[in-house]
Amino acid sequence: MAHLTRRTADLLKPFSVALSSMRLLTTTSTTPITVETSLPFTGHKIDPPSRSVETTPQELMTFFRDMALMRRMEIAADSLYKAKLIRGFCHLYDGQEAVAVGMEAAITKKDCIITAYRDHCIFLGRGGTLLECFSELMGRKDGCSKGKGGSMHFYKKDSGFYGGHGIVGAQIPLGCGLAFAQKYSKDENVTFALYGDGAANQGQLFEALNMAALWDLPAILVCENNHYGMGTAEWRAAKSPAYYKRGDYVPGLKVDGMDVFAVKQACKFSKEHALKNGPIILEMDTYRYHGHSMSDPGSTYRTRDEISGVRQERDPIERIRKLVLSHDLATEKELKDIEKEVRKNVDEAIAQAKESPMPEPSELFTNVYVKGYGVESFGADRKELRAVLP
């Protein structure tokens, strides 16, 4: 948890002030607590891991804070989009936070994650800052991709986050390429390639899976099944919506994606499996509260009752809140204080991001090519440097 507490260190300080020293001891303690996942795992051609997960009070509180931060960030992005500060496409992740947080808890920054366009929260989980996130969304130069990528192109090379891809399914072969490079360099790390239930019907997934299985690449393919491929429900798009079984010769595991401990256990289990036996498919059963993107209201293909039903029964943050309260790790008020803290941080980051300037006009032409050997310009007729003859 060190990497997360580093990033959220400034959030912890006021928290400790509000607490009695007695409670401080409890919430940062590492005495193990055993938690049962909400549902057992279902395996395809593999023995599923156990339902009991070890955790600590410190981890529980970190999970709560991280998921609250992600939720707040996505809601804030919603308002920014409606205020026309974010343009184009904006795909929000609220409801699915458990997948991002649980996965981070099971792996290191040397493992690689690659995902599609619903990438804001995974970027945060990998160590991205709120400022980089909001600046990129608003197209400012302090963004993680200098404002040139946008919502669908968040990357963080130094912590193994490879994006951020707009074309459905195209990131899966890239993910297998990352796993190939890991095997090539023999560095005992794995790659998590995330995709959605819509992308699960792409041919390139099966092509890449075949190659990963053929060469025992340490690739873990994770299907974040939120049951809707934009407006099409999974039963209308897939003959077999049991995505964890679709690997056929590749083992699979179905996981309750709204339970952060189930996600953590499954990811830990898959990492061990992938390093020894090659690829494995994880299907995270999760749900998104927003529509597919900001231009989709999200209610034409599903009922409001369904959305509020999931929110009441399966919300990941509520589940952690109940666990924290039942184990007496914090009071209601303290949890609310954390949420207020988080909201303040998000608002500050937005204010700071709004101050950030737009990229310089010269940035239009930078990073098209890498300057260096053999390249001095770009374009068919060297628009950057007109040929001037003496």
- In angstroms, give the least distance from the CB of 178 to another protein: 5
With tokens 């955790």, the residue in question is 55
CB 37 within 8 A of CB 50: no
CB 317 within 8 A of CB 64: yes
Interface pick for another protein out of 36, 47, 313, 376 (rule CB under 8 A)? 376
- In angstroms, give the least distance from the CB of 256 to another protein: 29
Interface pick for another protein out of 130, 144, 263, 353 (rule CB under 8 A)? 144
Interface pick for another protein out of 57, 127, 143, 198 (rule CB under 8 A)? 143
CB 52 within 8 A of CB 41: no
Residue 123 φ/ψ, nearest 5 degrees: -60, -45
Interface pick for another protein out of 123, 155, 243, 287 (rule CB under 8 A)? 155
Which range of residues in 25-33, 102-110, 160-168, 336-344 is near another protein by CB under 8 A? 160-168
Identity of the residue, 157 or 304, whose beta carbon is nearer to another protein in the bound complex: 157
Total chain residues near another protein (CB under 8 A):
60
User: Strands 252-256 and 280-285, how do they pair?
Assistant: parallel
Which range of residues in 2-10, 253-261, 326-334, 367-375 is near another protein by CB under 8 A? 367-375
CA nearest neighbour of 320 among 122, 121, 98 = 98
> To 10 degrees, what angle do helices 332-355 and 9-18 make?
140
- In angstroms, give the least distance from the CB of 125 to another protein: 18
Interface pick for another protein out of 72, 120, 183, 254 (rule CB under 8 A)? 183
Interface pick for another protein out of 11, 211, 242, 325 (rule CB under 8 A)? 211
Query: From CA 166, how far away is CA 51, in angstroms rounded?
Result: 35
Task: Report if residue 213 touches another protein, rule: CB under 8 A.
Answer: no
Identity of the residue, 53 or 219, whose beta carbon is nearer to another protein in the bound complex: 219
Identity of the residue, 180 or 301, whose beta carbon is nearer to another protein in the bound complex: 180
Contacts of 172 (CB under 8 A, 6+ apart): 193, 195, 199, 202, 204, 205, 208, 221
- In angstroms, give the least distance from the CB of 120 to another protein: 15
Query: From CA 277, how far away is CA 243, in angstroms rounded?
Result: 20
Q: Could you say which residues in the range 302-331 bind another protein, by CB under 8 A?
A: none
Q: Could you say which residues in the range 162-181 bind another protein, by CB under 8 A?
A: 162-167, 170, 172-178, 180-181
Beta strands in 143-291 (DSSP E): 191-196, 219-225, 228-229, 232-233, 252-256, 280-285
CA nearest neighbour of 98 among 286, 306, 326 = 286
Q: Could you say which residues in the range 76-135 bind another protein, by CB under 8 A?
A: 112, 114
Which range of residues in 37-45, 140-148, 261-269, 293-301 is near another protein by CB under 8 A? 140-148
Identity of the residue, 172 or 263, whose beta carbon is nearer to another protein in the bound complex: 172
Which range of residues in 19-27, 150-158, 232-240, 276-284 is near another protein by CB under 8 A? 150-158
Residue 78 φ/ψ, nearest 5 degrees: -55, -50
Contacts of 28 (CB under 8 A, 6+ apart): 57, 58, 61
Interface pick for another protein out of 53, 194, 208, 258 (rule CB under 8 A)? 208
Buried b / exposed e along 30-39 (16+ C-beta atoms within 10 A): eeeeebebee
Identity of the residue, 212 or 258, whose beta carbon is nearer to another protein in the bound complex: 212
Query: From CA 255, how far away is CA 272, in angstroms rounded?
Result: 17
Query: From CA 170, how far away is CA 173, in angstroms rounded?
Result: 6
Identity of the residue, 49 or 175, whose beta carbon is nearer to another protein in the bound complex: 175
Contacts with another protein by CB under 8 A lie at 112, 114, 143-150, 153, 155-157, 162-167, 170, 172-178, 180-184, 203-204, 207-208, 210-211, 214-215, 366-370, 372-382, 386-387, 389
